[in-house]
Amino acid sequence: MNTYEILPRDDGFQDYGTVCAANESRFTAAHYSEPLTAFTVGWKDREKIESLLNFIAPVVNVARRFEFKVADNNQAFLSETDDIRSIGSAFKRVEFTGTSVTSKTFNKGLTIRVDHDDVAGEDWRERYVQLLLQRLYRNELRRAISALDANAVSLVADYVWSDSEGTPNPDADIRKELEAAVNATGVRPNRIIVGEGAWDIRSNAYDHQNNAGADRSASLNLEELARKLFIDEIRIIGARYQSTATEKAPFLGNSIYAFHTNDEIMKDEPANIKRFVTPVDGGSNFRVYVEEHSKFSDITVEHYSNIVITSTTGIRKLTVSSE
């Protein structure tokens, strides 16, 4: 999960069409494009990678340098009997004493060189900005999944949901992991992401059994399965990335992750994972720069973010196979 493509540095001499790690020396006011930055605000991600990223690691807006509290699970369950106010006195003061951590958002970006002989139409700059946005979101999604994977635990190293023999019960195995999280933290994970391969193995395991209970489980849609497991939402991730020059790899494959987080989450609110983002101009999370030359243009898209595991306990993982 932690293998990333090493991009060439933007030294100003890259080949046309090559995506490079952005060179900060190019981020000057003279090259800043306000119209293309505004384009990133209204841009819709057709691959829905941004939606998946926000589902896993919701955005929390912060300054470049910020401080947050690591979730102290025990404090969520404190109780007292002295919360009655006496006449003339104040209420008992409650203080959150979770560990404070100082961090910062990192400047991330990509540059692409576009030869003017290869462009067509009036919106070619927008199309290349869109290409870079999708790639930046794909990078962030991989980081979020890697962060979950690095902190996830499991009761079993490998769950075998055979589609040829026996009577496996995949949903019961998922429930066991959820219960283990509750026992460890007191909080049930509220979100699950399922790799496309794991979902196929689950479906095959139930389809083969040919009994009423298995047929019922196999017919459940994601909303019904979420209700069955007492969680908020389940999403299947079938997105892929270029893992080698000739092959694409799935983000999740045969893995399932359960964790706890929420939309519109606050900086210090308890959760397993958050994506701290520093907004830039005009309500956008991105800036776009265009350095024009006589025969080509260098287009750069940058942003500031940091994906952080703010509570390491309660993240569960199931690695599944069919044999």
Please identify which residue in the block is written with the tokens 């790899």: 249
Q: Which amino acid is at 209?
A: Q
Reported as half-sphere exposure (CB side, CA atoms, 13 A), residue 321 has a value of: 4
Model pLDDT, residue 25: 61
Residue 279 lies in a domain: yes
Closest by CA position to 286, among listed 64, 25, 38, 106: 38
Quote the CA–CA distance of 52 and 58 in Å, as a whole number. Answer: 10
Number of domains composing the chain: 1
Residue 171 lies in a domain: yes
Tokens of 279: 């907004």
CB 68 within 8 A of CB 310: yes
Tokens of 115: 């030869």
CB 108 within 8 A of CB 132: no
- Residues with Cβ within 8 Å of residue 164, at least 6 apart in sequence: 208, 322, 323
Residue 278 lies in a domain: yes
Residue 81 lies in a domain: no
Domain that holds residue 160: 19-70+101-321
Residue 64 lies in a domain: yes
Q: Cα(first)–Cα(last) distance of the chain, in Å?
A: 22
Quote the CA–CA distance of 84 and 279 in Å, as a whole number. Answer: 43
Residue 269 lies in a domain: yes
Task: Give pLDDT tens digits along the chain (323 positions).
Answer: 545 556 666 655 556 556 766 666 666 778 899 999 999 988 888 888 999 999 999 999 999 998 887 765 555 545 666 677 777 777 777 665 567 888 899 999 999 999 999 888 889 999 999 999 999 999 999 999 999 999 999 999 899 998 666 789 999 999 999 999 999 888 899 999 999 999 999 999 998 888 888 899 999 999 999 999 999 999 999 887 777 777 788 888 899 999 999 988 888 788 899 999 999 876 789 999 999 988 999 999 999 999 999 988 899 999 999 88
Tokens of 113: 């060189």
Residue 199 lies in a domain: yes
Residue 82 lies in a domain: no
Quote the CA–CA distance of 194 and 201 in Å, as a whole number. Answer: 11
Angle ∠(298,117,123) on CA atoms, nearest 5: 65
Model pLDDT, residue 108: 94
Reported as half-sphere exposure (CB side, CA atoms, 13 A), residue 37 has a value of: 19
CATH classification at residue 180: 3.90.1690.10
